[in-house]
Amino acid sequence: MKRIALSILAFVPGVTAGILLLEPVFRSNTTLLPRGIAAPLPVDPPLTDRWYEVRYTDADIFYWQSGIILPPEEDLLEAVVHWRTDEFGFPNPAPVPAQVDLVVLGRSYAMGAQAEEPWPSLLRGRGYRVLNLSQTGAGIREKRDFLTRFGLPRNPKYAVIEIIPPKDILEFGPAAEPLVVQRAAFPFAQTALRRLFPLKAGGESSGYVYPLWLEWPGGGCDCVFYSGYLAALSLSREDWAASAEWAAYRNDLAGLIAVMRAAGVVPILLYVPTKETVYPPLVSDPASLAGATAAAGSWVLEDGVLRKTAAGTDPRIIQSNSIASAELIQDLGGELSVCVVDPTAAFTAAGRSGTDPFMRYDSHWSAAGHALTAGALAAAMDGGNCR
């Protein structure tokens, strides 16, 4: 027993030291990290130039909630991505120009890791000199840091701030820097299990919620929603506005806008439409959303703080709150005299006509969605609406 105890005492420090040695390895080689782990930003190595495919089961929604999604009969191709990063690790062709017209401060939508041609690239094709400083997981404080370090030295005329309320407001809080290895155990285990037990196509099960067939006048959709975004629609405009999270985010956003204006940069707020804000309001029978809203959970305002619960939400409330956070951003734009671009109406019109602006199993935009967003931003800038 004594020998075993001594062996354990020697083994545990050795394993611990080995795990800690992985920290600098992960930080310097971010391609080794599984999905779901964010290294210190920017997360991509500089001067990357590679191609990869995005298929149905590569989707972020599949990654986080595969248990409620019926695997597709065919794992079809959705996008072929040419992924390039500049000398700083941001998603731009290298080298970064000395002068730019537009700086993009966003998260995954503007970053475009799932898109053949994301909207910043489409604006580049329209003649704009674009510096895309977007990174998955970048909050308002990281955006401000990126702007001052990389954006302002290049004298941009415009700066677009991408806003995704469920991510930017509900997850707003002080920046944390836990060890990468602390966050790696679950994703590594999940990745290993998926390789051992891959998703099987087809079949029927009462446990699946999606794809969910929804109908509206003149059309319909086999929709797959992201529960995190759907749950946010349980909040009314008054809930958002009364929360400590909104107050803190609004304060930091106003500070970022002040930095831009002091440098002579025109700020633009880009509100991000999601499937959850576009499709549920169209649905003729709210009851058809019940399975999705029950699986999503909800948020409540308690003592001025927003708290996540497992309780489902009445689908009619989801429908009525679909524009609540968009109204909040529009009102803020009016208060601060900042241009707000919201392509929701264009996304809704596309969905009604049968052109899906979203990826099939992913929360991100399809090629059509990126084109609509690029068009809305170009129209606002070219038309002189943002000044």
What does the pLDDT look like over 234-289, one tens digit per residue? 999 999 999 999 999 999 999 999 999 999 999 999 999 999 999 999 999 999 99
What pLDDT sits at residue 136?
Answer: 86
Same domain, 17 and 102: no
CATH number at residue 124: 3.40.50.1110
- Looking at every residue in the chain, the average pLDDT score rounds to 87
> What residues contact 109, with CB distance under 8 A and at least 6 apart?
118, 134, 162, 164, 272, 364, 365
CB atoms within 10 A of CB 337: 10
Same domain, 12 and 55: no
Is 284 part of any domain?
Answer: yes
Is 330 part of any domain?
Answer: yes
Per DSSP, the residues of 157-217 read: SEEEEEE-HHHHTTT--------HHHHHHHHHHHHHHHHHSPPPPS---TT--BSEEEEET
C-alpha to C-alpha distance for 123 and 131, rounded to whole angstroms? 11
Give pLDDT tens digits for 160-177.
999 999 999 998 765 455
Q: Is the pTM of this model over 0.85?
A: yes
C-alpha to C-alpha distance for 130 and 156, rounded to whole angstroms? 9
Instruction: Band the pLDDT of 364: cuts 50, 70, 90.
Output: very high
Using CA atoms, how far residue 338 sits from 58, 100, 335, in Å, is: 37, 21, 8
Maximum distance among all Cα pairs of the chain, rounded to whole angstroms: 80
Same domain, 24 and 154: no
Same domain, 97 and 21: no
- Top pLDDT among 41 and 123 is at 123
Task: Give CA 172 to chain center in angstroms.
Answer: 14
Is 37 part of any domain?
Answer: no
Q: Which two tokens stand for residue 378?
A: 């170009």
Same domain, 217 and 102: yes
Is 195 part of any domain?
Answer: no
What pLDDT sits at residue 66?
Answer: 84
Helix (H/G/I), strand (E/B), else coil: 23: helix
- Structural domain containing residue 258: 49-175+208-382
Is 371 part of any domain?
Answer: yes
Overall domain count for the chain? 2
C-alpha to C-alpha distance for 256 and 258, rounded to whole angstroms? 5
For residue 48, the one-letter residue type is T
Is 194 part of any domain?
Answer: no
What pLDDT sits at residue 11?
Answer: 47
Same domain, 6 and 125: no
Q: Which two tokens stand for residue 338?
A: 């900042």
Helix (H/G/I), strand (E/B), else coil: 314: coil
What pLDDT sits at residue 2?
Answer: 56
